[in-house]
Structure 1
């Protein structure tokens, strides 16, 4: 399992766990499928920002499967 700091590790359709902006203090993770990559840089220390198929936007903390 990979963390979500490298853009190359995250593909559209991958199962990931993200932390939403309003859950950053608690660290509550949301499971979902990636529909869009929102971070353009190759890596980001807090996780690549993605939009899930459910419409939720958050930073990837764990990549479950690619």
Structure 2
């Protein structure tokens, strides 16, 4: 299983991930959050699967941090 966020099958709601927001693409700055929705429909994407975090932020996954966000 790939943990770099390019395979849609590896991504699901509740996953803790690092994403790059659209405005941060030039710098590569990442934002950590919990996946709410998967926005990319294709099974994989070379720049990372696009997701919406629970915070409402949208970006492409750069890294999967951990399985599920458990309190």
TM-score by length of 2: 0.89
> Shift of residue 58 of structure 1?
0.2
Q: Which residue is 1:32 aligned to?
A: 33
Considering Cα pairs closer than 8 Å and 6+ residues apart, tell me whether 1 or 2 has the greater RCO: 1
In the comparison of the two structures, how many residue pairs are matched? 66
**Unaligned segments of structure 2, at least 5 residues:** none
Instruction: Name the SS of the counterpart of 1:50 in structure 2.
Output: strand
**Unaligned segments of structure 1, at least 5 residues:** none
Two-structure CA RMSD over aligned residues (Å) = 1.1
